[in-house]
Amino acid sequence: MRLPLRYFAFALAACLCFALVTPPTAAAKNLKVVTTLTDLASLTQEVGGDKVDVEALAKGYQDPHFVDPKPSFLLKLRHADLLILVGLDLEIGWLPPLITQSGNGNVQPSAPGYLDASQFAEILEIPQGAVTRAEGDVHPLGNPHYWLDPDNGRRIAKGIASKLIEMDPTDRAYFQQREQDFEKRLAEADKKWQAQMGPYRGRKIVTYHRSWPNFAKHFGLDVIGYIEPRPGIPPTPSHTIELVNLMKRENVKIELIEPYFDVKTPESIARMTGGKVVVMMPSVGGKPEITDYFKLFDYDIAILTQAFQQTQ
Amino acid sequence: MRPLQILVGGMLLLTCAATAQQAAAPAGSNDVSALEQKIRDLEDRLVMLEGQVRQLKAQGPQPPLQNATAPSAAPVTQAQVPTSQEAVLSTPSAADNVRLGGAGGAAAKALNPDISVIGDFIAGAGHNPLNPTPSFQMHESEVGLQAIIDPYARADFFISFGENGVNLEEGYITFTALPAGFVAKAGKMRAAFGKVNTLHNHVLPWVDRPLVSKNLVGGEDGIDDAGASFEHILPAPGKWFLDFTGQVFRGDSADIYTSSNKNDVSVVGHLRGYRDLTDNSNLDLGVSYSRGHNLFGTDFTTNLYGIDATYHWKPLRRSIYKSFIGRSEFIWRQQNQPSLLACQIISCPLNTAAGFQRAFGFYASGDFQFARRWFLGARVDRSDRAFDSHINDKGGSLVLTYWPSEFAQIRGQYRFTRYADKFDANEAFIQLQFALGAHGAHPF
């Protein structure tokens, strides 16, 4: 204690020891990509193929607003070449401390390995004028659930392909070819989805949270109300009564909710209105059979069209 | 204005191209598909330009590009025509001289740190013969200022305003891009000793801190000192996460450490082991050690040893409605004190037992979330006194917490304490906490 220099020398030696015992990053050929959500992981896999190793942090059935920044995530982030996030403050409650603690300079904000996918997407519900928390947990930069629009899926894939090419120029042709192939398959799938949803274009629906504006816009649905009185605020009796009256007045029968919300209030609304609660999956992996971005829309559109048929 | 010009240009491009294509499009289905594809591409370009505009607006005006290989102090003359990229990134107001603090004017506003204030109001009732609390107190107003400094570091300041004064609770720089995966901090910070010592008041699951924190680890302030910290993730078997933090401080922390001269530094070491048991549960274990000089002078040291364990259960599908956290810390404090003889020569605090003191304390608590905004918790406390370990205090608490929203919290706590096996205290507290602004998330 009397000789701090000795302690500094000890600390330095300890640091060197740790550095030595830590296995150096293998000179792996593949780019290591970590995404916050499974949807971005799926899009990255589509474009990156076998030239990338992709892992997502949150699970597909988890509320992406409330993810615990677990230390086990640091093990994934620590050696990542590229971090892809949704942005628009969706991950603000859990991602920043992980990035700081990761000790990985590649994925720090503004570093080349930090990619905010929102820059490639069409963003809806950007608040105009002053934003206050009296409006609930509002996202000041716009609605972050933008990946639920196949057009945005295509744009994000394009953006990811550009980033992969920038980081691995030798595989430019491979990434370009995969991105074009994905775009083609997505266009074909979208034609099928549009055909399935065609009879229901213009239908009015309500949703629990403001998670579906991009989905609704793409497939021509009209969201007229929300089960939450304000974003992030649980349903209140007075708001529920207002919503029931609105649904009866507008003859709305469909309530879209995410798997992580309580179905109690939506089901009581459905009983009062003769409607139906449809638990849609907002992300890849929400169900075991939803293994990629295509299957996400296959699943959601199948259960939604079925619900429309049942409530006609 | 440059981003807007890009946007307008993009829109014009889109309109012109779409019009031209429509005019020229023959009736063939292949051509229609090609036209649709072209329009889609142009839409994508427009959306991308909008995204770039959003990002540029969010970032604010950028400083002029620096040529790292051949820096030039010469000002840009009118004859020098900037490239389009330079033009986008340059601002007329940006000075050529680099100075600490960065750009001024509009840029300063855009680059302001995240600012937050967290209010902590406590109302108390009941009787406590040894540590009475006021009936009402604005216990703390914590102002947070947090921002990324540059590509290599970020800074966090937490200034605590009490009713009687101001305290820099924490203020440190974190180097986030060091080689070999190290994370370093320098400044004033809460030491990585155990769990509770690292937590700010507003993230505690109780109104107060456990007895062991008060008696053995410096109370509310805890080990909170100026110094440097290094953290590194260690290789670990299986699915374990292992992390070591080593810290060196000046050696002044509450009643634990007192630095009589520059050489009287204190040190803290913390080894953390973490494992996901399932997707829904995990176990977090820690071992801590700290050593420094105490208030009796440079020849007297205090050693702290701690172990902590935390179990989390949070079903991911229902995580916003149900969760449980069980936590416990065991802390030992060894303190060198002057002998009785020495106390006749130097001044010793009242009731100080002479000689070597070994004190022990612990707490164990559980917090169960039973609804989206409701939590019920309980805590058991026991701790010896640091300066006379023959005396110990015991207690227990019941806690009920309600969150009206993510940004406010109402908490009620009943606390029973038996001091020195003689004096009983029965108290009830109501706490209101409320957050303004963008307060950065805390580590897990």
CB–CB contacts below 8 A, A to B: 179
Q: Where are the alpha helices (DSSP H) in B2-115?
A: 2-24, 29-59, 84-89, 105-110
Which pLDDT value is given to residue B339?
75
For residues A86 and A57, the answer to whether their CB atoms sit within 8 Å is no
Nearest Cβ partner for B263 among A3, A75, A154: A3
CB < 8 Å to A154, chain B: 44
Which residue do the tokens 């889609």 mark? B40
Amino acid (1-letter code) at residue A256: L
Identify the three-state secondary structure at position B347: coil
Which pLDDT value is given to residue A23?
47
Complex ipTM: 0.84
CB-based burial of residue A65 (10 Å sphere; 0-12 exposed, 13-18 middle, 19+ buried)?
Answer: buried
Which pLDDT value is given to residue B349?
63
CB < 8 Å to B149, chain A: none
Q: How far apart are CA A5 and CA B161, in angstroms?
A: 36
Q: How far apart are CA A100 and CA A107, in angstroms?
A: 9
Which pLDDT value is given to residue B341?
62
Residue B217 tokens, joined = 């680890």
Q: How far apart are CA B258 and CA B250, in angstroms?
A: 9
End-to-end CA separation in angstroms for chain B: 41
Which pLDDT value is given to residue A278?
96
Which pLDDT value is given to residue B257?
95
Q: How far apart are CA A227 and CA A208, in angstroms?
A: 4
Contacts of B292 (CB under 8 A, 6+ apart): A1, B249, B251, B253, B256, B257, B259, B264, B265, B266, B267, B301, B302
Identify the three-state secondary structure at position A301: helix
Contacts of A31 (CB under 8 A, 6+ apart): A48, A51, A52, A53, A81, A82, A164, A167, A168
Q: b/e map of B314-328 (b: 16 or more CB within 10 Å)? A: bbbbbbbbbbbbebb
Q: What share of chain B is helix, strand, coil (3-state, %, to 5)?
A: 20, 45, 35
Element (H, E) at B186: strand B183-190
Q: How far apart are CA B271 and CA B288, in angstroms?
A: 6
Which pLDDT value is given to residue B15?
52
Q: Which residues sit opposite B431 in a β-bridge?
A: B122, B411
Q: How far apart are CA A194 and CA A301, in angstroms?
A: 9
8 Å CB contact of B241 and A93? no
pTM: 0.83
Which pLDDT value is given to residue A176?
97
For residues B213 and B171, the answer to whether their CB atoms sit within 8 Å is no
For residues B138 and B120, the answer to whether their CB atoms sit within 8 Å is yes
**Beta strand residue intervals within B281-407, DSSP E:** 281-294, 297-313, 323-335, 357-371, 374-384, 392-405
Q: What is the chain A residue with the closest CA to B408? A: A133
Contacts of A251 (CB under 8 A, 6+ apart): A204
Which residue do the tokens 């593949």 mark? A30
Which pLDDT value is given to residue B7?
53
CA A114 to chain centre: 16
For residues B432 and B407, the answer to whether their CB atoms sit within 8 Å is no
> Strand B297-313 vs strand B323-335: parallel, antiparallel, or unpaired?
antiparallel
Q: Which residues sit opposite A204 in a β-bridge?
A: A222
Amino acid (1-letter code) at residue B137: Q
Q: Which CATH superfamily, name and number, covers A196-310?
A: Nitrogenase molybdenum iron protein domain (3.40.50.1980)
CB < 8 Å to A127, chain B: none
- DSSP annotation string for A204-247: EEEESSTT-HHHHHHHT-EEEEESSSBTTBPP-HHHHHHHHHHH
End-to-end CA separation in angstroms for chain A: 80
The string of pLDDT tens digits covering residues B327-339 is 999 999 999 888 7
Q: How far apart are CA B357 and CA B336, in angstroms?
A: 6
The string of pLDDT tens digits covering residues A42-71 is 999 999 999 999 999 999 999 999 999 999
Nearest Cβ partner for A18 among B241, B244, B372: B244
Which pLDDT value is given to residue B38?
81
pLDDT less than 70: residues of chain B: 1-29, 58-110, 340-354
8 Å CB contact of A109 and B406? no
Nearest Cβ partner for A70 among B151, B293, B444: B444
Phi, psi of A216 (to 5 degrees): -65, -40
Domain-wise residue ranges, chain A:
31-191, 196-310
Which pLDDT value is given to residue B419?
95
B residues 177-196 near A, CB within 8 Å? 177-183
* Average pLDDT of every residue of chain B: 83
**d(CA B46, nearest CA chain A) in Å:** 9
Identify the three-state secondary structure at position A113: coil
Of residues B246, B240, B239, the one with CA closest to residue B182:
B246
CB < 8 Å to B244, chain A: 18
Nearest Cβ partner for A22 among B235, B263, B314: B235
Q: Which CATH architecture fits A31-191? A: 3-Layer(aba) Sandwich (3.40)
Phi, psi of A295 (to 5 degrees): -70, -25
Q: How far apart are CA B48 and CA A159, in angstroms?
A: 9
pLDDT along chain A (312 residues), means of 10: 51 50 54 97 97 96 92 93 96 94 92 95 89 81 95 96 96 96 96 96 96 96 95 91 95 94 94 95 96 97 95 81
